Structure 1
């Protein structure tokens, strides 16, 4: 297979099982011609596995036109949902104000894939509605959808939707649960101003809502001064994220730092290490956004940016972090680096040891792996017997 696909794998891992299934299916479709050539090649018939039941089934599947037709249909159906997943999992902006609206958009696109024939798309819609019920159509999601001018100003019928208005009123009652005057002010006075685009909502600068990349919470901060009750509520809701992905990534960094071999770190030092590593990742992400080289959020990274550049040698450690500033350059690599000694507990700048990661940088120097014995020996320094 790798001979025909130019040494590329079919399976593409993602940060979720749903993403992995979609990315792998997409990868299979892109390699359709190569895979079909593979199963008709003379070497294919010479493989022992091909004569088995599974081998014959695989051959028949690759040559079945209906299979490729259904793969293409699956990708068309799930692509709108993957876009929603990218939005939810991303760190670029708060997604609460866009989630419900993008889900409705995804449902419309899926219906178009099936030619707007209800008998063809009703099963898929039933699954989506079941997943949304009680999870993604709460009063918080409905209120965020209503208060986001990107949707409510583009479609005035949103203000006439009974389900959305009822959800908004319920959200107001919860947000201002002990103040009837503010509830009345938000629902009967300020919402009407927002709907009719009165006062500051009518300004030319308020039309930035037409851009999908705008921040609705910032929009309310700039344009909602004449509706302070609704402004406070809108800013709180539209600043929320709709998933715990950010927290999960932070917890993953803790798992990478606090391991079985490095389990005697103090709380302060552990927090400092996580701070360096996690923010290094965020800085790298920000640079990618500025340079428009944003990688697919759903694709899993091989390692965290700082992972693999941590060296523990007894009581002293050093971390190497990429820097944009003019720091010392690692000889022969073109990589600029600095040692973060304070967070690691090191009293002075340490010399880099050639770990497995650094060893690749020196491959051209004819490095002899037999001299690597001290790597394992250093890892045992400072450990008591039985540890």
Structure 2
């Protein structure tokens, strides 16, 4: 439709006459979620599309087959609605899990709700019986691939769900992972990650699941309904609790790589043809400086390969602040670990 200006103009006129504010959404190869938005826009614009199909001036442009398709309420629009019902929960959960929030504890809930939706809508869809079976098999295969021990642990540590989406065997796997996670290198004898008392940890896991000890207080569970699990473990339970230390780390793990990919996109100029030989520590430092610069100059977009105008150059105080930040960052990533790098001068 958008390839024909005349047809597009007629359709816009029909939408305006019917006071339809929604426009049609086109598909993009690299954005799977747009399939849902396309189907939703078609459903909203259904009346306008069918009016377009009977318009005399649009008939020659559309063609007989497309006109018949748009007017086919028994097959085409039924297929559209059934497909939308299958895709909608998947896309909604993808959008939620790929956000910048801590959502790893929702993964089991997501797959559970998607499976319930598929079981309900597949028999009502236009798919053949063998196609529906293949659809469900592919879903179960993806579920088995995506969900691992850390997802089981995060579901168990979710103060709202408390592992309700897990089987008895999966709950034991979750406990085993929590204990092994506490014994791993994630916790060591330093100021950042204090050593975990593993015997006390097991006691606290048992009390947490049985609502005994400090977890016997009703207000604790009432508060869990109004805050995120990470905030609940930090603010209500407190960091003096052994299980809380482990829970905060597990629940803070990103659910997907989407946030990392957004970071790559934001700082894509760090690796260019001119900088493709940067070592990882150097790239980290350059990204740190770029983030600091963006924070200090939110109204301006940094252009890496275009020289700054002399009037846009930072003041001496700004340069001093950047240098101090880099010196602070050098304490985090020691220069001794970076061959050939001598402080900020190498940049």
Q: TM-score normalized by structure 1?
A: 0.60
Among 210, 215, 227, the alignment partner of 2:228 is 215
- Relative to 1, partners in 2 of residues 1:101 and 1:255: Cα closer, same or farther, differing over 3 Å? same
Structure 1 residue runs of 4 or more that deviate by more than 6 Å after TM superposition? 256-261, 266-270, 278-281, 309-313
Q: Secondary structure at the match of 1:165?
A: helix
The answer for the alignment partner of 1:164 in structure 2 is: 171
The answer for the alignment partner of 2:210 in structure 1 is: 196
Counterpart CA distance in 2 for 1:256 and 1:57 is 48
- Paired residues of 1:100 and 1:145 also in contact (CA < 8 A): yes
Q: CA RMSD in A?
A: 4.2
1:326-341 correspondence to structure 2 within 5 Å: 341=314
Counterpart CA distance in 1 for 2:243 and 2:124 is 38
- Relative to 1, partners in 2 of residues 1:274 and 1:182: Cα closer, same or farther, differing over 3 Å? closer
Cα drift, residue 217 of structure 1: 1.7
The answer for the alignment partner of 1:147 in structure 2 is: 157
Counterpart CA distance in 2 for 1:129 and 1:280 is 47
Per-residue Cα deviation, 1:43-73 (whole angstroms, up to 9, x for no partner): 12333xx4xxxx4443332122211111111
Per-residue Cα deviation, 1:15-56 (whole angstroms, up to 9, x for no partner): 962212111121122111111111211112333xx4xxxx44
- Paired residues of 1:80 and 1:106 also in contact (CA < 8 A): yes
**Unaligned segments of structure 1, at least 5 residues:** 282-304, 319-338, 347-387
Among 95, 109, 113, the alignment partner of 1:105 is 113
**Unaligned segments of structure 2, at least 5 residues:** 1-6, 17-21, 188-195, 277-281, 320-347
- Paired residues of 1:110 and 1:121 also in contact (CA < 8 A): no
Counterpart CA distance in 1 for 2:115 and 2:157 is 21
Instruction: Give the total of aligned pairs.
Output: 283
- Relative to 1, partners in 2 of residues 1:30 and 1:256: Cα closer, same or farther, differing over 3 Å? farther
Per-residue Cα deviation, 1:171-195 (whole angstroms, up to 9, x for no partner): 422431599x9555434x2222001
Q: TM-score normalized by structure 2?
A: 0.66
Per-residue Cα deviation, 1:205-240 (whole angstroms, up to 9, x for no partner): 4422224xx221221123445983322211110111
Counterpart CA distance in 2 for 1:201 and 1:30 is 49
Per-residue Cα deviation, 1:104-146 (whole angstroms, up to 9, x for no partner): 12322333345799x79654432221112132x2000001001
The answer for the alignment partner of 1:35 in structure 2 is: 49
Counterpart CA distance in 1 for 2:296 and 2:41 is 32
The answer for the alignment partner of 1:130 in structure 2 is: 141
1:72 aligns with 2:86: no
Among 213, 238, 244, the alignment partner of 1:231 is 244
